[in-house]
Amino acid sequence: EIVLTQSPGTLSLSPGERATLSCRASENISNNYLAWYQQKPGQAPRLLIYGASSRATGIPDRFSGSGSGTDFTLTISRLEPEDFAVYYCQRYGTSPLITFGQGTRLEIK
């Protein structure tokens, strides 16, 4: 089973700043089957990025994903107040062993 480790656990930044969130896999993720989700309190998760770097429908272009193999990054270029939330990475694919990272909490500094 592939284990995803997200860092940092908590990130404290101010609106307007750039956020960089990391997701490291214990094994190579083939085909870049890596997604990122945003979850706000009391809400269901929302897909942001799939295929490591493709934005989902309706996601602002300040969100971008990059990486391959075992190291992936979610970047929010300029934080808006509504971006403060918990972010999860996910490995998906044809295997049934879908896994999520433990999450990064992005909080207002």
Q: Which residues bind another protein (CB under 8 A)?
A: 33, 35, 37, 39, 43-47, 50-51, 56, 88, 90, 92-93, 96, 98-103
Count of C-beta atoms within a 10 Å radius of residue 25: 20
Give 15 or 72: the residue with its C-beta nearer to another protein: 72
- Least separation in angstroms between residue 104's CB and another protein is 10
Tell the smallest beta-carbon distance from residue 57 to another protein (Å): 8
Between 15 and 60, CB nearer to another protein: 60
Burial class of 42 by CB neighbour count within 10 A (0 to 12, 13 to 18, 19+): exposed
10 vs 17, beta carbon nearer another protein:
10
Minimum CB separation from another protein for residue 69, in Å?
17
41 Cβ contact list (under 8 Å, min separation 6)? 85
Tokens of 99: 């896994």
Between 81 and 97, CB nearer to another protein: 97
The b/e string for 54-81 (b: 16+ C-beta within 10 A; e otherwise) is ebeeebeeebbbebeebebbbebeebee
